[in-house]
Amino acid sequence: MAEVELIRRPGSFPSGRGRAILAAVEIDFNRMRAERLDRLVRSLAASGADGLVLLGPSNQEYAGLRRPCSDAMRVYYEPAVAVLTPDGDLHLWTPFPDGAPPEIPAHHVHRELDVEFPEGAEALLQALAGLFGTARLAIDEIPGGLVDRLDDRSSGFAWLDGALVTGPARLRKTKDEIGCLREAQRINEAAIIDVQAALRPGVRQTELSALLLRRAFELGATASCVDPIWNLTPRDRAWQTPTVNGDVGFPIATSDRFLREGDLVLCDTGLVWNGYHSDFGATWICSDDPRPSPELRDCFRRWRDVMSCVYESVRPGRTAADVVRDVIAVEPNYKLAQFYLAHGVGCDAAEAPFLGTDRSLEADEEVVLEAGMTLVFEPVVWEDGIGGYRSEELVVVTEAGCERISGHGYAPFED
């Protein structure tokens, strides 16, 4: 891939009904890696740690280690380790040497370590001793081979939570990161067009997944981070699979069952482009001629009212609690029991910050919005016996307010 890439799609393509998305995104990958590394270095200095050890795939991606498209990421163990020094030197132990950033010296790229086993963990400790001597190190994940050594003072290390470093660094996105998110979302929504066109009685859920993934990879997706969800949702809670909290079950895993006339489908898909995750969600009706009832349209209208409130409320300096209070004033029942109003998105499909969770408004007071934050709002307006409406909107917080990145329409609720 070229290190500076201009993604410019001629014309437009339809999205939903009566919608179009224009893409003109210029991304400088050299600049993006340099800015991310600089943020990690500054965050490392602020944390008081002497070095950063990364085993989490998304944190490694943020530091610059690329994984091949065929890699299953979190499905099974991969012995990759990234280590950052206060001077900004990155050292990698990886089975994917081709994924190392081109600016990293060759002698900083090493053969992978099996850190889930004692021998690999010991080799990592020896390598860290060579880099740092006695030190306070931040680590984001604790492999099995290191568990018994964390309290072993003979290792010479004191261990801190790696989130103290990665969290602040990843919270706000750079111009190039936002460009990657735009392209990931564009691919997701373009692939969804084929799926929505196929949503007719008699199609299987797994067929919809096949359509989505085939088209997404044709369009340039590099991974799928969400097993595509086509949630068949009963209109009445009494008819659904029992849940722990008694609320509407979502998400429920996709199967090979046939969809039937009138099925209410809550979909959710996540696709990755160059390490950045998109997020798409919508509510559909399976039918040759889908026509929402007046009651369902009212749920959609209330959902739109919530999102209109969000776009007015979100701006730098406000807290998550401010936004939640504004939303509650418009629609008190804005989410399911197990959900939140919004989550962050970037190198993970759901990452900090979170707004409107089940913690408390006091916890939301601690989340202050800043320009460069990227958020996915996913309110749900549900009425027992009727059904409801859920959709997802990806936005970026700007200096003046916020900007919508999602571009898909709301058919069949809005033509």
pLDDT in tens, 153-210: 666 788 999 999 999 999 999 999 999 999 999 999 999 999 999 999 999 999 999 9
Q: Do 182 and 247 fall into the same domain?
A: yes
DSSP summary character for residue 259: P
Alpha-carbon distance 367 to 82, whole Å? 29
Alpha-carbon distance 258 to 79, whole Å? 40
352 lies in some domain: yes
Q: Do 396 and 278 fall into the same domain?
A: yes
9 lies in some domain: no
Q: Where are the alpha helices (DSSP H) in 199-293?
A: 205-218
**What pLDDT is attached to residue 10?**
34
DSSP summary character for residue 222: -
Q: Do 199 and 338 fall into the same domain?
A: yes
Strand partners, 169: none
20 lies in some domain: no
CATH number of the domain encompassing residue 160 = 3.40.350.10
Last residue of a domain, one of 171, 194, 219: 171
414 lies in some domain: no
Q: Do 290 and 399 fall into the same domain?
A: yes
3-state secondary structure of 137: strand
Last residue of a domain, one of 147, 171, 195: 171
**What pLDDT is attached to residue 21?**
44
Q: Do 150 and 193 fall into the same domain?
A: no
Q: Which domain holds residue 121?
A: 29-171
CATH number of the domain encompassing residue 299 = 3.90.230.10
Q: Do 249 and 124 fall into the same domain?
A: no
**What pLDDT is attached to residue 153?**
60
Alpha-carbon distance 159 to 47, whole Å? 12
pTM for the complete prediction?
0.90
Summarised one tens digit per residue, pLDDT across range 58-91 is: 999 999 998 766 554 444 566 899 999 999 999 9
Q: Do 367 and 226 fall into the same domain?
A: yes
**What pLDDT is attached to residue 149?**
74
Alpha-carbon distance 29 to 301, whole Å? 41
Q: Please state whether 297 falls in left (phi above 0), alpha (psi between -120 and 50) or beta.
A: alpha
CA angle 247, 252, 256 (to 5 degrees): 145
1 lies in some domain: no
Summarised one tens digit per residue, pLDDT across range 25-47 is: 689 999 999 999 999 999 999 99
Query: In the sheet that 135-139 helps form, which strands lie side by side, from edge to edge?
Result: 109-110, 90-93, 81-84, 51-54, 135-139, 157-161
Number of domains in the chain: 2
411 lies in some domain: no
**What pLDDT is attached to residue 26?**
87
Q: Do 157 and 207 fall into the same domain?
A: no
Residue for token digits 């994924």? Answer: 99
Last residue of a domain, one of 171, 187, 207: 171
In the predicted model, residues of the chain with pLDDT beneath 70 are: 1-25, 68-78, 151-155, 415
279 lies in some domain: yes
Q: Do 363 and 243 fall into the same domain?
A: yes
Q: Do 245 and 326 fall into the same domain?
A: yes
**What pLDDT is attached to residue 70?**
55
Strand partners, 257: none
Q: Do 191 and 267 fall into the same domain?
A: yes
Q: Do 187 and 82 fall into the same domain?
A: no
24 lies in some domain: no
